[in-house]
Amino acid sequence: MQAGSEDERVLIAGGGPTGMAAAMFLASQGVPVTLLERGKGPHDDPRAATYHPPSLEMLEPSGVTDELHRRGIVARKWQYRDRREGLVAEFDLQVLEGDTRYPYRLQCEQHKLVAMMQKRVAASPFATIRQDAEVVEVAQDVAGVSVVVRDAAGAHATLRGRWLVGADGGRSVVRKSQDIGFEGFTWPERFLVVTTTFDFEPLGFAYSNYTMDPVEWTATFKVPGEDERGIWRCVFPTRPEEGEAELLDFARAADRLAGFVPQSRAAKVIHTNLYAVHQRVATTYRRGRVLLAGDAAHVNNPLGGMGLNFGLHDAHSLAQRLGKVWRGEAPDSLLDQYDRQRRAVAEQYLQGQTIANKQTLEERDPVKRAERQAEMRAQAADPARARRFLLRTAMIEGLAAAAAIA
């Protein structure tokens, strides 16, 4: 028997990185949680893979940060490059050594992170994980929430809890059930991710790189891969008129890669993945007993590797507050502060930074591109300026800004 009676539990819709982190952070405080996941395990298609310093700090008490260090790749430096000119500027996160215990990015596939957290949630006496449980309906009243779940065979069941966290991704049923808007826009182009055995390191690439080009920019980074010997992922923009089948075709992907780096011709393409890219933020993160976090609350382009990290930061902020409210130590207005803090920084930092990152990479005006590159070189060469820039891009500044919101 799990701790906590059924109707006092916190229900969590979605067992991706955000939902699993929320479950782990709540269960570690002794708050009973039931996590409802539509699938049968973590999605193992290539998604996010970069963890910034604050995320590593938040995951530290659970032991997940240690495990990520054992299985992931430490990327102390990252580069801006130009497709024709090569290296523009290299930033060394070591300048943040006075600001964080983890002055680097850690790169490890998202499904491995989810599995690490899931192991801990499953081991907690305060947590229950229900897989093959798709949330299809949500209702709330003054005392709690009622959630209807459906399994793959079509059988329905109703669960009762005190609070519901909607961490069910960009198409969130929880968000829609509460009539919460999701404002913003969708980019016309989809992004193509090509995973290859080609090793970019001997060419002078860092483990994380952003290559500017007015026609075809590229983000390139190294991840451990299933055998943990290291593979590389390249993200490319595509033209709206290009068809899905041709974009995903391995031979064409190899051509695209060779257009970027001719030396890659002999290497193998091992995966291709295409996805639509949006910039949207929910109009509120709280409706009564229903709270939103992660992609259910905000979606953005992957340049800068911020989306998943932001979801972890949401989960951390929400779990601290929900724990206090659940134990009766704080009024539920503390959850309105969660909405104010996290939504403000999603708009200002997450949207602002990721849109700026994309615009930098695709800049078409040669004068502006040259100016931007000169600025990057100057920033990288001056430790004080580099630190200010890296505090923002490593997501430390956004957290401080959130904490300053009353």
Ligand X SMILES: Cc1cc2nc3c(=O)[nH]c(=O)nc-3n(C[C@H](O)[C@H](O)[C@H](O)COP(=O)(O)OP(=O)(O)OC[C@H]3O[C@@H](n4cnc5c(N)ncnc54)[C@H](O)[C@@H]3O)c2cc1C
CB of 249 to ligand X, least distance (A): 18
The answer to whether the CB of 165 falls within 8 A of the CB of 291 is: yes
CB of 390 to ligand X, least distance (A): 18
β 231-237/191-196 pair status: antiparallel
Residues 284-323 that bind ligand X (CB under 6 A): 294-295, 302, 305, 307-308, 311
Going by the DSSP 8-state scheme, the letter that residue 215 receives in this structure is S
Orientation angle between helical segments 307-326 and 17-27, nearest 10 degrees: 30
Orientation angle between helical segments 383-393 and 366-381, nearest 10 degrees: 110
CB of 327 to ligand X, least distance (A): 25
135 near ligand X, rule: CB under 6 A: yes
398 near ligand X, rule: CB under 6 A: no
Return d(Cα 172, Cα 195) in angstroms, integer.
28
110 near ligand X, rule: CB under 6 A: yes
> Cβ contacts of residue 84 below 8 Å, gap of 6+?
213
117 near ligand X, rule: CB under 6 A: no
CB of 289 to ligand X, least distance (A): 17
Question: Which of 4, 19, 237, 398 lies at the binding interface for ligand X (CB under 6 A)?
Answer: 19
The helix or strand, by DSSP H or E, that contains position 129, with its residue range, turns out to be strand 127-130
Specify the stretch interacting with ligand X by CB under 6 A; choose among 11-19, 79-87, 330-338, 385-393: 11-19
Going by the DSSP 8-state scheme, the letter that residue 266 receives in this structure is G
Return d(Cα 201, Cα 7) in angstroms, integer.
54
CB of 193 to ligand X, least distance (A): 6
18 near ligand X, rule: CB under 6 A: yes
Question: Which of 167, 257, 318, 394 lies at the binding interface for ligand X (CB under 6 A)?
Answer: 167
CB of 78 to ligand X, least distance (A): 14
109 near ligand X, rule: CB under 6 A: no
Question: Which of 90, 99, 109, 168 lies at the binding interface for ligand X (CB under 6 A)?
Answer: 168
Give the C-alpha distances (Å, rounded to integers) separating 300 from 174, 185, 296, 308, 360: 19, 10, 11, 10, 16
Specify the stretch interacting with ligand X by CB under 6 A; choose among 30-38, 89-97, 242-250, 366-374: 30-38
Three-class secondary structure of residue 275 per DSSP? strand
Question: Which of 134, 332, 362, 375 lies at the binding interface for ligand X (CB under 6 A)?
Answer: 134
User: Is the Cβ of residue 81 or residue 313 nearer to ligand X in the bound state?
Assistant: 313
CB of 113 to ligand X, least distance (A): 10
Tell me the H-state helices in 124-248. Answer: 173-177, 244-248
282 near ligand X, rule: CB under 6 A: no
Question: Which of 10, 26, 47, 267 lies at the binding interface for ligand X (CB under 6 A)?
Answer: 47
Give the C-alpha distances (Å, rounded to integers) separating 273 from 128, 248, 256: 32, 7, 14
Give the C-alpha distances (Å, rounded to integers) separating 311 from 142, 198, 249, 337: 28, 31, 32, 17
Residue position matching structure tokens 């070591």: 94
In 3D space, the residue among 378, 361, 367 whose CA is nearest the CA of residue 303 turns out to be 361
Orientation angle between helical segments 334-345 and 307-326, nearest 10 degrees: 170
Amino acid, single-letter form, for residue 121 = V
Question: Which of 173, 223, 376, 394 lies at the binding interface for ligand X (CB under 6 A)?
Answer: 173
CB of 388 to ligand X, least distance (A): 23
Task: For residue 78, report the phi and psi dihedrals to the nearest 5 degrees.
Answer: -140, 155
Specify the stretch interacting with ligand X by CB under 6 A; choose among 43-51, 68-76, 91-99, 388-396: 43-51
User: Is the Cβ of residue 95 or residue 129 nearer to ligand X in the bound state?
Assistant: 129
Specify the stretch interacting with ligand X by CB under 6 A; choose among 162-170, 180-188, 239-247, 396-404: 162-170
Q: How many residues sit close enough to ligand X to count as binding (CB under 6 A)?
A: 29
Residues lying near ligand X in the complex (CB under 6 A) are found at 13-19, 36-39, 43, 47-48, 110, 134-135, 167-169, 173, 275, 294-295, 302, 305, 307-308, 311
